[in-house]
Structure 1
Amino acid sequence: MTNHQASPTEPPNQHSGEPHRGGLAQRLNWLRAGVLGANDGIISVAAIVVGVAGATSSSTQILTAGVAGLVGGAVSMSLGEYVSVSSQRDSENALIAKERLELEADPDAELAELTGLYEAQGLTPDTARRVAEEMTAHDVLAAHLATELHIEQGDGVSPWHAAFASGVSFTVGAVLPMAAILLPTVSTRVPITFAVVLVALALTGALSAYIGGSSRWRAATRIVVGGALALTATFLIGALLGARVSG
């Protein structure tokens, strides 16, 4: 069996593919915002255009509804990500400032607290004390933030990056169902849109699961079933309302 050799950028005795390197929160946030944005763009705009297509065959009305859903959804996703990530970062900054003041005011008490936390993780008192002292000597603030608050300095998430990734991915996802509903003939546009959207959802679900290391089949099945239900519901509602209006 060939032993794993650490790469120049990978610390010794670590396995490739495991999230040991820095910047993990940043990369995961980009992934989360991007995948959620694309999925929302596909599902929400597809549901809108399929619902309108159930009520009318007018391509102009379908396009208008789709564009409105695309713009409104992209703005909403971007703002939501920006507000969410900004609030999280503000909370983390406040906790960091508080911890820094506590370390300056009473470092001995903070060292004892850190020792107690290591003991709670299963270390003996002597070992816990020694680990706490060595971690404190290396970077006292980072040691306390990581152990007490589970915060990694420098691994923060940019709200602008999250907002941009979410808005762009939503737009890209939304373009797909709009093209699928507008390009085919009137008689085939709805079934083609169903097929294109469900395949796209299966791919994005499987991709996100693959990157996250979870079951691709389970993730794809969940999102395809949910997407199919959403499209069916909106199409039936659109057909019902269209029949009433025309009647």
Structure 2
Amino acid sequence: MTTVEIAGKPAQEPARKSEKGNLAQRLNWLRAGVLGANDGIVSVAAIVVGVAGATTAQSTSTAQAAALAAGAAGLIGGAISMALGEYVSVSSQSDSQRALVAQERKRLADDPGREFERLKTAYLEQGISPETAQAVAEELTRKNALSAQLRTHYNIDEEEIVSPWHAALASALAFTVGAILPLLSILLFPAPVRLPLTFAVVLVALAVTGAVGAWIGGAKASRAATRVVLGGALALGATFLIGSLLGHSGIV
């Protein structure tokens, strides 16, 4: 059996595109995980640092109890919020994808000839010769007409529709992993060095997540890490200042 060529490339190109699509999807998941962890670090770190600033005049046990209560509340509430947001977002996306699949399946059932011409036209519009476009459209249609139409026109796969439950769980776990770090830091470090070490641990963690996120996106790691660290430092400084003011004012 001869190999059909498209613009000098073998017909296995759709398979390569599928592999690239799968890789892009995995990288998107990884990027979402890194961002979720980053949110967890900043959110809970800001909470516990603010509480620490407000309870500096109180006993160590009281300050730790307050930080634990506030940090745990921030962790749980943040994880649920992240999961809910991701569930709603991905549900909308998957519903749209399923609607496209159902629509394309109906079109193939009602008028397969017209759908074949649409597929061939899509290749012609890419500059492929009529003979090659005809051959490729025939081969792909014989293999899986629905898959060929979905990949060519919408760049989706019937079997790769994202589950909103998986997305929600991944988002919640990423946030939780990030949030645990500052919570443990503020609870486990000795009282005299608790705040500076928590600041240091949080900023290092943010530098790592910023660099990883930049690497995934193909951007410069040092610049991205610097932006994230500066933003995190600003958040920590602001919450600590506000907490300190509230603590010294007698409100807390």
After TM superposition, list the pairs within 5 Å mapping 1:196-207 onto structure 2.
196-207=201-212
Q: Is the counterpart of residue 49 in structure 1 residue 48 in structure 2?
A: yes
Structure 1 residue 190 and structure 2 residue 198: aligned? no
Pick one of 180, 184, 187 that aligns with 1:179.
Answer: 184
List runs of 5+ in structure 2 lacking aligned partners: 1-11, 57-62
Counterpart of 1:175, as a letter, is: I
CA distance in 2, matches of 1:154, 1:217: 38
Judge conservation of contact 2:51–2:67 (CA < 8 Å) in 1. yes
* More helix per residue: 2
Give the match's secondary structure for 1:121. coil
Residue deviations 1:122-167 (CA, integer Å, cap 9, x gap): 2234433332222222211111101111102322222222222222
| Mapped pair 1:137 → 2:136 | no
TM-score (structure 1 length as normaliser): 0.83
Q: 1:29 to 1:86 in 2, by over 3 A?
A: farther
User: Which secondary structure state, in structure 2, belongs to the residue aligned with residue 122 of structure 1?
Assistant: coil
Supply the distance in 1 between the matched residues of 2:144 and 2:251 (Cα, whole angstroms): 72
Aligned to 2:37: 38
* TM-score, normalised with respect to structure 2: 0.81
Cα distance change on mapping 1:155 and 1:23 into 2, 3 Å: farther
| Aligned-partner Cα distance in 2 for 1:246–1:79 | 34
2: CA distance, partners of 1:218 / 1:131: 45
Q: How many residues align?
A: 234
The structure 1 segments of at least 4 consecutive aligned residues displaced by more than 6 Å after TM superposition are none
Out of 95, 110, 115, the position equivalent to 1:105 is: 110
Supply the AA of the counterpart residue of 2:229.
Answer: V
User: Take 1:103 and 1:168, find their aligned partners in 2: how far apart are those partners?
Assistant: 41
Distance 1:162 1:217, change over 3 A: same
Q: Deviations over 1:2-49 (max 9, x none)?
A: xxxxxxxxxxx99xxx98267446633542342222111111000111
Aligned mates of 2:109, 2:87 — CA distance in 1: 33
Residue number among 88, 104, 112 corresponding to 2:93 in the alignment: 88
Give me the whole-angstrom Cα distance separating, in 2, the residues matched to 1:121 and 1:245. 71
User: C-alpha root-mean-square deviation of aligned residues, in Å?
Assistant: 2.7
